[in-house]
Structure 1
Amino acid sequence: MKKNPFAKIDIDEVSLTRSIVIDEQALIVTIRSIGDIESPKLVVEVLSDVLLSNSSQEKLRELIGFMFDADADIESFNEMASKHNLVTLMQALTGLRIVKDPTVFESIIKTIAGQQVSVTMAGKLIQKMCENYGEKVMHNGVSYYLPPSSDMISKLHEQDLRELGFPLVRARTLIECAKLDLAGYFNNLENLSEIELEKTLCAIKGIGPWTAQMIMLLGLGKNQIVPWADKGLHRAIEVYFSLTKGSVTTQADVERYFQMLQGPRSYITYFLWENMMNYRVTQDSDL
């Protein structure tokens, strides 16, 4: 069982149980895969003792579909990948979908927490933030957390977040983003082009291209996003192409290899990340 503040992932049961908000109701839901690679199918079970209206049930279905990229044209991607340099990647990760955040603001929290730190450190920051300022929802004696609301974060002082381990600049950025969210700044971002979207996000002090690109990829589900400066992506390219560690360091380096990998760039990025994670697991098991 792998844990994080929002969810419990059960590898054996091929399921994920997490906290989620629908129509201002905090819910605990389990999403379980009962299909296969050729015919994927998800079943969603609401564990919370609440009665959802038909409208709320439809919103829940739409949100889960977005989070697990249910409408992605995987067959076309697979066909395209088979004609280019993605065959090995596809064979190892057949059926993989991009798993996205349920809200833009949750993506903002995660991404700001992850600026210039390891995935492990980012996870610890998010855990502390949820435990101190998020909403705890209990089910069968297990605690699940909702990320802190923008209203909650907007009322915090920089020192409150610094005490959790956030550097000053990131604390300021997070509080500013919370105030902007309350003002509607992040509404309807999905209607902007990727160029307009990155410009809109980067207009916020403390958000640069990497942060904006990660939010666009994992919070908004844009199809052609490459976080050029992501060190994890640099290493993932080196692993896939069997390159010397440290040989991919610039946007030009990343672009050169992406030119060899035709297809939706967000999916290629995600597949490269996942392939690197599998590589690390293999390396660790060989030690």
Structure 2
Amino acid sequence: MGFVTRLELKPAGVYSFAATTRRLVSFEKSAYQVRDGRLYRTLRVGGRPIVVGLGWRGEALFAEVEEVLTPAEEEALTKTLRRMFSLDVNLEPFYVQMEQVPELAALVRERNGLHMVLDPDLYECLIKTIIGQQLNLAFAATLIRRLIDLAGEEVAYRGELLPVFPTPEQVARLDYADLQALQFNRRKAEYVIDLSRKIVDGSLDLTSLLSLPDEEVVERLLPLRGVGRWTAECLLLFGMGRPNLLPAADIGLRNAVRRVYHTDAQPTEQEVRQLGGAWAPWSSYAVFYLWDYLSQPETKE
């Protein structure tokens, strides 16, 4: 079958699809598949799962769906993809500012056009972040995929069945033992299922957080069992795309700062905050580029 719905989405500024999607292929294997040079992932549009093929043509992201979408669904998909791929984030002011930070200038220049890719909704971001707490990326990805296989659904696409991230309702129906059987520890199983149940019963409204300032979002989330400051900051970064987050306690960030700033010892949280004063109001992207730097084994100083 030929593609029925096609979207062409132009970015607001310089954009490297290759650099941006390299990270997806490495770290988001449970969500994105590569076929014939394109990325594919399932998304929920209008409450139903669809498969979206993604690529870069000329100066725009193009998306193709082998279904007829209603005008409302097409508008919703356009909005979701622009947000997910940070197409409205113009990084030129960030690049100009980082040229004045000697330790970061070359590192940032080498990643010209690299953008953050957000999760499609806050629920998916929150659950993935909780699963990833204190785990290495590979095992976290394994647990995420196991949750999807257990609680989610599948969409038939070109002879394959592609996974769809579960809804809060689907996860809320699970028992803790279901996740423990997948190698979740008891506490993490409780966090994932209990938060899903809170969303279902209406006592947790993630959408209401979107209009709040960063620190107020953190304050609203911290009382929730299983949510610490790191988890809240990751939700702000990869769920909402907030531009000025500085998760200074993050071990990966502190390791990257030690290498790039050539400090004798790993910097403390307070020392990272002091250095990060020069990154505002683009701290999120400075942090993201440092994480990317740290993830490249061939990088040498």
TM-score (norm 2): 0.84
Q: Deviations over 1:78-100 (max 9, x none)?
A: 12222223311222100011111
2:68 is the alignment partner of 1:64: no
- Give the corresponding residue for 1:232: 252
Q: Give the Cα–Cα distance (whole angstroms) in 2 for the partners of residues 124 and 203 of structure 1.
A: 28
- Give the corresponding residue for 2:220: 200
Question: Which 4+ runs in 1 deviate beyond 6 A?
Answer: none
2:261 is the alignment partner of 1:241: yes
Q: Give the Cα–Cα distance (whole angstroms) in 2 for the partners of residues 24 and 6 of structure 1.
A: 18
How many aligned positions are there? 272
TM-score (norm 1): 0.88
Letter in 2 for 1:222: R
Q: 1:28 aligns with which of 26, 51, 61?
A: 51
Q: Deviations over 1:103-158 (max 9, x none)?
A: 00000111011001111110010011111111112312333211121001111111
Letter in 2 for 1:191: S
Q: Secondary structure at the match of 1:188?
A: helix
Q: Structure 1 188/252 Cα, relative in aligned 2: closer, same or farther at 3 Å? A: same
Q: Give the Cα–Cα distance (whole angstroms) in 1 for the partners of residues 109 and 163 of structure 2.
A: 36
2:124 is the alignment partner of 1:106: yes
Q: CA deviation at 1:229?
A: 2.3
Q: Give the Cα–Cα distance (whole angstroms) in 2 for the partners of residues 202 and 193 of structure 1.
A: 15
Q: Which runs of 5+ in 2 are unaligned?
A: 1-24
Please say if residues 80 and 262 of structure 1, whose CA atoms lie closer than 8 Å, have aligned partners that are also in contact: no
Q: CA deviation at 1:46?
A: 0.9
Letter in 1 for 2:266: S
Letter in 2 for 1:102: P
Q: Secondary structure at the match of 2:92?
A: helix
Q: 2:174 aligns with which of 139, 152, 156?
A: 156
Identity over aligned residues, as a percent? Answer: 26
Please say if residues 293 and 299 of structure 2, whose CA atoms lie closer than 8 Å, have aligned partners that are also in contact: no
Letter in 2 for 1:214: C
- Give the corresponding residue for 1:122: 140
Q: Give the Cα–Cα distance (whole angstroms) in 2 for the partners of residues 159 and 89 of structure 1.
A: 45
Q: CA deviation at 1:282?
A: 4.5
Q: Secondary structure at the match of 2:206?
A: coil
Q: Which runs of 5+ in 1 are unaligned?
A: none
Moved more, 86-95 or 97-106: 86-95
Structure 2 counterparts to residues 1-287 of structure 1, below 5 A: 4-9=29-34, 13=37, 15-35=38-58, 40-47=59-66, 50-85=67-102, 86-182=104-200, 183=202, 185-243=205-263, 247-248=266-267, 250-278=268-296, 280-282=297-299
